[in-house]
A and B are shown apart, each in its own frame.
Chain A
């Protein structure tokens, strides 16, 4: 094999990413070591690691980090679990109207994030929300709940909307991966008299492992960085109870006008994601799946 071939095949990706992402990412990194208040634009000295030091003492940083962990952890766990289940159900059953069923079940993914936020905020509305109506009708509660106005339910409400949106993504990706498994593998397992659980463990999971790892990893990173949904649903409130790191970065940059500190937060987010990635790849033994 030609040594240059893989680089040649990857060159369009290198060119596009290098050309358009290098400068912005380098700028952010540089800014994170600078004082850069938008309202004091001519005074931007390098201040070393001061922003990072400030971060360690910033109670809002730690609170939003914790909220981010809850937000990512719960969202990805449920999205993946339910999405995988849906993919398996779709893969193992055939029925009349399956095409239509798929098209319908996959719709949430086709809706813009802020519309999902608005829809769910409206459904979870404390006065006219349909969720309250359903819960009251079914006798589960007798008083309306302001899901988005209580500090113990606001973040969970956002997670719920996120789950609704994200199941589809996992379902589609895993469904596609499941279909690529050669049926001969299953036939062989059947002949060996394996139980369905054994087949699942020995055939299905290994065959879709790389898809699982890539989707869970990228989804986690992506949700970690996703602020739109929470911004529209609660603006991070009440009293910061649903403020995630990504949202905090937005507030520092565009409301606090402190681009220096916001950049440092952005870099910190990146570093945290890198640590998470390394740990995740180690735990899942990704190299055995021959991807890295």
Chain B
């Protein structure tokens, strides 16, 4: 048994290390590129530890483009969109998990169908919708699009998480005088916290990184989200590698912060799981 355990741990260690290397290597290259003087990027063989470093790319990125404003725009859009998505999909997911009703299968099909049509052909009609609403070149258009596009997946995810917890707990709460909504809010939702957080993360990151709609709906620099702002670093004749990687590094910070903050709760979810058994 003890030997088995050691083997298990060794296997886990090797596996986790392999993942770490695979994941971090490109990110490490990104960081190195962001501090390497431009001419040295085209050296061969490659130096893994840069001999000369520069913060010029960061300086240029921060000074020449309006990164703080892109940042604020992205944060606004992603937070609002993911919060809306989460609320809608908690109720929707709960309905799909706990009720047997006629419209269930059509609902799931409808959800899936919205994910199946390529965005490229939807762009022009959606553009018309937002023009009609007068929302072009506003962040509202993106909040709405991201919410709508993330609802199907997030609802189905929440459905899965709700199915995983026994219905008896809510029923008990309702016997104690809770309303249905009260039971959802006080019993079901806290029990699915890890799933809830994973779903929120999904919606947040999706909105944080989306490029195509943002390019099509936003016209002016003051409105741009981070991906659009960074995309502008590819110009007709130039990819500013250093600057773009500097921008990408900056863009990573909030996402990492969210991960770092949120994963604690995902771990805590484990002990909650113990309660309900």
On A, residues with C-beta under 8 Å from B are 1, 3, 5-7, 9-10, 12-14, 16-17, 20-21, 23-25, 27-28, 82, 85-86, 89-90, 92-93, 98-115, 118-120, 122-123, 127-128, 130, 133, 136-137, 164, 167-169, 172-173, 175-177, 179-185, 207, 210-211, 214-215, 217-218, 221-222, 225, 227-228, 245-246, 249-250, 253-254, 259, 262-263, 265-267, 269-270, 273-274, 277, 289-292
Contact = CB atoms under 8 A, between A and B. Distances in A.
B173 interface: no
Contacts of B30: 119
Contacts of B194: 176, 179-180
A269 B274 CA distance: 44
B55 interface: no
A5 B180 contact: yes
Q: Which among A90, A111, A181, A214 has the greatest number of chain B C-beta atoms within 10 A?
A: A111
A218 B113 CA distance: 11
Nearest to A289: B163
Contacts of B107: 10, 14
Interface of B: 8-9, 12, 15-16, 19-20, 22-24, 26-27, 29-30, 33, 41-46, 87-89, 91-92, 94-96, 98-99, 101, 103-105, 107-108, 110-122, 124-126, 128-129, 144-145, 147-148, 151-153, 155-157, 159-161, 163-165, 180, 192, 194-195, 197-198, 201-202, 205, 208-209, 211-212, 226-227, 230-231, 234, 239, 241, 244-245, 248, 251-252, 255-256, 258-260, 263-264, 266-267, 269-270, 273-274, 276-277
B276 to A, nearest CB: 6
Given A93-B16, A164-B23, A9 B160 contact: no
Contacts of B148: 16-17, 20-21
Contacts of A92: 8, 12
Nearest to B268: A179
Q: Which 6 A-B pairs have the closest CB atoms?
A: A110-B255, A182-B277, A24-B125, A266-B121, A9-B95, A184-B277
A17 B111 contact: yes
Given A3-B101, A102-B259, A181-B164, 13 more contacts: A9-B92, A17-B114, A28-B125, A110-B259, A112-B211, A113-B209, A176-B161, A180-B192, A214-B160, A218-B152, A221-B112, A265-B121, A292-B105
Q: Which among B12, B121, B160 has the greatest number of chain A C-beta atoms within 10 A?
A: B121
A138 to B, nearest CB: 13
Nearest to A27: B125
Contacts of B24: 104
Given A5-B180, A269-B117, A128 B273 contact: no
Interface of B is mostly: helix
Nearest to A253: B120
A228 B212 CA distance: 8
A49 to B, nearest CB: 18
Contact of B266 (A13, A176, A277): A176
Given A102-B263, A133-B46, A214-B156, A9 B117 contact: no
Nearest to B41: A128
B159 A291 contact: yes
B23 A105 contact: yes
Nearest to B151: A13
Nearest to B28: A130
B48 to A, nearest CB: 8
A144 B89 CA distance: 49
B7 to A, nearest CB: 11
A180 B195 contact: yes
A93 B266 contact: no
Given A20-B148, A111-B209, A173-B198, A103 B116 contact: no
A8 to B, nearest CB: 8
Given A3-B101, A89-B12, A118 B111 contact: no
Nearest to A184: B277
A101 B118 contact: no
10 contacts: A10-B103, A90-B16, A114-B227, A118-B234, A119-B30, A172-B201, A179-B194, A263-B121, A289-B163, A292-B105
A211 B157 contact: yes
B252 A128 contact: no
B192 A259 contact: no
Contact of A225 (B26, B45, B119): B119
Contacts of B105: 292
Contacts of A5: 95, 99, 180
Contacts of B98: 6
A118 B110 contact: no
Nearest to B210: A112
B273 A183 contact: yes
A277 B144 CA distance: 27
A259 B118 CA distance: 13
B120 A249 contact: yes
